[in-house]
Amino acid sequence: MLMEEMPEGDCLVISLMEQRLDAVIAASFRETLVDRIDRGCRNLVLDLAQVGFMDSSGLGALVFVLKHLVHKGGRLHICGVTPGVMAVLKLTRMDRVLKTFDTRQAAVAA
């Protein structure tokens, strides 16, 4: 699984450099982000600009990360949501729970 990490201000920006967030990478995706949270990350910005497709496993991993982060008092912002990913968020009404932003800057600034 390809990922880039960049601290920006008090956020950690993680860009997922994969076209699909699906059953193949969902477990390692979740493990990696949980690890960052357990190591102290509380403001996480997830950049999904490269992700064109997300299945229920990918969404499940995302939801798990969100809950884990919120439980620790943190916040998750998502940016670069492609139409394919947004369709899944809308299907599952997760768009009303996950905070999404049009740009990375807006996600970080918020």
Partner 1 sequence: MVSRIKVGASPDRQSLRSAVDYHLEVTLAKHTHNATPEDYHLALALAIREPVIRAMNATEERVLKAGAKKIHYLSMEFLIGRLLANNLRNLGLYDTCAEVAADMGVNLADVLESESDPALGNGGLGRLAACFLDSLASLSYPGYGYGINYQFGLFRQTFLNGFQREQPDNWAVHGTPWHVERRDQSSMIPLYGRVEGDLDDSGQYNPHWMDWNSLIGVPADIPVVGYGGRCVNFLRLYTARAPAEFDMAIFNEGDYLRAMERQVAVETVSKVLYPSDSAEAGRELRFIQEYFFVACAMRDIFRRHGVAGHRIDDFGQFNAIQLNDTHPALAVVELMRTLIDEHAVSWNQAWEITQQSMAYTNHTLLPEALERWSATLFGRVLPRHLEIVYEINRRFLGEVALRHPGDAARLQRMSIVQEQPHKEIRMAHLAIVGSHSVNGVAEMHSELVKSQLVPDFYELWPERFNNKTNGVTPRRWLLNCNHRLATLISAELGTGWIADLNQLARLEPLAADPAFRRAFRDIKLQNKADLAQRVRTVTGVSIDPNTMFDVQIKRIHEYKRQLLNALHIIHLYCRLSEDGTALPCPKTFIFSGKAAPGYVLAKLIIKLINNIARVINSDSRVNRSLRVVFYPDYKVSVAELIVPAADLSEQISTAGYEASGTGNMKLAMNGALTIGTLDGANVEIARDVGAENIYIFGLTAEQVVERRLAGDAARQVYETNPDVKRVLTRLTDGTFSAEDRDLFAPIVRALLDQGDHYMHLSDFADYAQKHQRAMLDYCDVEKWSARAIINVARSAHFSSDRTIHEYAADIWDLKQVI
Binding site for partner 1 (CB under 8 A): 20, 22, 24, 53, 55-56, 59-60, 63, 87-88, 90-94, 96-97
DSSP string, 54-68: E-HHHHHHHHHHHHH
Q: How far is the CB of 51 from partner 1 (least distance, A)?
A: 14
Nearer to partner 1 among residue 37 and residue 88 (C-beta):
88
Nearer to partner 1 among residue 60 and residue 74 (C-beta):
60
CA dihedral 43, 47, 53, 59 (to 10 degrees): 0
CB-count burial class (<10 Å; 0-12, 13-18, 19+) for 7: exposed
Q: How far is the CB of 60 from partner 1 (least distance, A)?
A: 6
The neighbouring-strand residues paired with 44 are 12, 76
Q: How far is the CB of 108 from partner 1 (least distance, A)?
A: 22
Nearer to partner 1 among residue 6 and residue 70 (C-beta):
70
